[in-house]
Structure 1
Amino acid sequence: MKGIFSALLVPFDDQGRIKEQGLREVIRNNIDVQQVDGLYVNGSSGENFMLTTDQKKQIFKITHEETNGAIKLIAQVGSINLDEAVELGKYATELGYDSLSAVTPFYYKFTFDEIKNYYETIIEATGNNMIIYAIPALTGVSMSLEQFDVLFQNEKVIGVKYTDGNFFMLERLRKKYPNKLIYSGFDEMLIYGAVSGVDGAIGSTYNIHGNLAKQIFEMVEQGEVARAYEVQHIMNDIIEKVLELGLYQTLKEILNVKGIDAGTVKQPMSPFDSGKREAVEKLVKDFNL
Structure 2
Amino acid sequence: MRKELGGIFSALMVAFNEKGGINERGTREIIRHNIDVMGVDGLYVGGSTGENFMLATEEKMRVFEIAVEEAKGKVKLIAQVGSLNLQEAIELGRYAKELGYDSLSAVTPFYYKFDFEEIKHYYNAITEATEMDMIVYSIPFLTGVNINIDQFAELFENKYIIGVKFTAGDFFLLERMRKSFPQHLLYAGFDEMMLSATVLGVDGAIGSTFNVNGVRAKKIFELAKEGRVDEAREIQHTTNDLIEGILDNGLYQTLKEILKDQGVDAGYTKQPMKRLSSEKIERARELSKKYIGN
Judge conservation of contact 1:264–1:272 (CA < 8 Å) in 2.
no
**Equivalent residue for 1:39?**
43
Deviation for aligned residue 1:108: 0.4
The answer to whether structure 1 residue 115 and structure 2 residue 119 are counterparts is yes
Which structure 1 segments of 5+ residues have no match?
Answer: none
Alpha-carbon deviations, 1:34-57, whole Å to 9, x = none? 000000001000000000000000
Aligned to 2:230: 226
Are positions 1:268 and 2:272 aligned together?
Answer: yes
In structure 2, how many angstroms separate the alpha carbons of the residues matched to 1:232 and 1:57?
35
Distance 1:67 1:272 in 2: 30
Q: CA deviation at 1:287?
A: 1.4
Q: Give 1:153 deviation, angstroms.
A: 1.0
Aligned equivalents of 2:27, 2:16: Cα separation in 1: 9
Q: How many Å separate the matches in 2 of 1:198 and 1:257? A: 32
Gap regions ≥5 residues in structure 2: none
Q: What count of residue pairs does the alignment treat as equivalent?
A: 289
One of 58, 61, 65 as aligned partner of 1:57: 61
Alignment map for 1:1-289 (pairs within 5 Å): 1-289=5-293
TM-score, normalized by length of structure 2?
A: 0.97
- Following the alignment from structure 2 to structure 1, what is the Cα–Cα distance between the partners of residues 135 and 146? 16
Q: CA deviation at 1:274?
A: 2.3
Deviations 1:160-218 (A, max 9, x none): 00001000000000001111000000000000110000000001000001110100111
Q: Is the 8 A contact 1:106 1:140 kept in 2?
A: yes
TM-score (norm 1): 0.99
CA distance in 1, matches of 2:58, 2:216: 34
CA RMSD after TM alignment: 0.7
